[in-house]
Amino acid sequence: MRIHEHWNGIEPSDRGASVAMGNFDGVHLGHQAVIDLARKGQAPLGIVTFEPHPRQFFAPDAPPFRLMNAEARTHRLEKLGVTQLYELPFDAALAGMEAGAFVADVLVAGIGVAHVTVGADFCFGKGRKGNVETLRNAGRRHGFGVTIAELVAQDGEEISSTAIRAALSEGRPRDAARMLGHWHRIEGAVMHGDKRGKDLGFPTANMGVEGLHLPKLGVYAVKIDILTGPHQGSYDGAASLGVRPMFGENQPNLETYIFDFSGGIYGEHLSVALIDYLRPEMKFDGLPDLIKQMNADCDRARTILTTL
């Protein structure tokens, strides 16, 4: 995949794509329907999206809401066959650009789109004044095709990032996965921690969750992909998402114990898929009770993961 962080300076060989356009937070089944409709003939399949998410730009102090960071979104889009990712910087200049200027300067002069596909509720341009009809009319003027994808429903309800967030907040990762079309994953680099897990016999890979919507805090059965380094591959495990009440912590993070693994992975990038919610965070009377519960959590997670 070729990744472009601006619409200026794009090489001729990277122009002429058929693009799906949107935020694609979560890359759920509704997003995937838009992407599938963007596959047009021999044109490269592209994505036009924004970083940061426009909602982050307009409300920087709002609670974290994103289902995935830019890294996780890129990995998911690559798996769908996207070859050109135009990740546009959403800043004051872009936020203030009128819809007509966005089409002329960004889509046509900058990216050189051959075709644009968006969802039926897509809006763009300053004040979100541009809509699908604006885009259709602009396509006729500038000579690119436009396809409008209908919204996707499941069990009579529209699939949305909002519904997925609710499922995760309630500890229902399988329901979230049904709307996503894939497991919900948290991705990032492994950080150095306080090594308490190692001292307890459960060495963990620690990852930050800053900027992300937090699923229900607690312990999960997980699937782990190590994306970089000499230990690349897929593994099973159990993970604790939370603030470690036994030790008086207050900054949420993800601590993942990889079954039957002893390699060093500090600094490597992991993708941790939440499979099943096992239990909430708990405070124990002492370390022996904590260790006993951790063994029980791992046994239960192993049983669950063998059925996948």
- Cα–Cα distances in Å, from 148 out to 64, 134, 259? 30, 12, 45
pLDDT, tens digit, 9 for 90 and up, residues 82-121:
999 999 999 999 999 999 999 999 999 999 999 999 999 9
CB neighbour burial string for 154-164, b if at least 16 within 10 angstroms, e if fewer:
eeeeebbbebb
pLDDT, tens digit, 9 for 90 and up, residues 15-30:
999 999 999 999 999 9
Please state, in angstroms and rounded to a whole number, the distance separating the CA atoms of residues 295 and 54. 43
Taking Cα atoms as reference points, which of 59, 129, 44 lies closest to residue 90?
Answer: 59
The answer, yes or no, to whether residue 292 has pLDDT greater than 70, is: yes
- Cα–Cα distances in Å, from 119 out to 108, 147, 185? 20, 9, 24
- Cα–Cα distances in Å, from 303 out to 6, 17, 147, 182? 47, 45, 45, 21
Active site residues: 255
0.85 exceeded by the pTM?
yes
Please state, in angstroms and rounded to a whole number, the distance separating the CA atoms of residues 48 and 22. 7
Token representation of residue 101: 């200027």
Query: What is the pLDDT at residue 234?
Result: 98
pLDDT, tens digit, 9 for 90 and up, residues 140-191:
999 999 999 998 999 888 899 999 999 999 999 999 999 999 999 999 999 9
Q: CB neighbours of 42 closer than 8 A, spacing ≥ 6?
A: none
Nearest 5°: phi and psi at 25?
Answer: -75, 115
Please state, in angstroms and rounded to a whole number, the distance separating the CA atoms of residues 207 and 231. 17
Query: What is the pLDDT at residue 193?
Result: 73
CB neighbour burial string for 87-118, b if at least 16 within 10 angstroms, e if fewer:
bbebeeebeebebbebbbebbbebbebbbbbb
pLDDT, tens digit, 9 for 90 and up, residues 237-290:
999 999 865 445 568 999 999 999 999 999 999 999 999 999 999 888 888 899
Beta bridge partners of 43: none
Segment holding 116, helix H or strand E: strand 115-119
What is the chain's mean pLDDT, rounded?
94
- For domain 184-305, the CATH superfamily is Riboflavin kinase-like (2.40.30.30)
In the chain, the amino acid numbered 247 is: F
In the block, residue with structure tokens 């962080």: 5
Query: What is the pLDDT at residue 278?
Result: 98
Average pLDDT over residues 199-224: 93
Taking Cα atoms as reference points, which of 291, 290, 279 lies closest to residue 218?
Answer: 279
The answer, yes or no, to whether residue 197 has pLDDT greater than 70, is: no
Please state, in angstroms and rounded to a whole number, the distance separating the CA atoms of residues 137 and 80. 29
Query: What is the 3-state composition of the chain as percent helix, strand, coil, each rounded to the nearest 5?
Result: 35, 25, 40
Per-residue confidence band for 199, with pLDDT thresholds at 50, 70 and 90? low
In the block, residue with structure tokens 């607690």: 218
> Could you tell me the maximum CA-CA distance found in the chain, to the nearest angstrom?
71
Pinpoint the residues of the chain covered by CATH 3.40.50.620: 2-154
pLDDT, tens digit, 9 for 90 and up, residues 41-61:
899 999 999 999 999 999 999
* 43: three-class secondary structure by DSSP: coil
Pinpoint the residues of the chain covered by CATH 2.40.30.30: 184-305
CATH fold for domain 2-154: Rossmann fold (3.40.50)
Per-residue confidence band for 192, with pLDDT thresholds at 50, 70 and 90? confident
Taking Cα atoms as reference points, which of 224, 215, 203 lies closest to residue 269?
Answer: 224
Query: What is the pLDDT at residue 163?
Result: 95
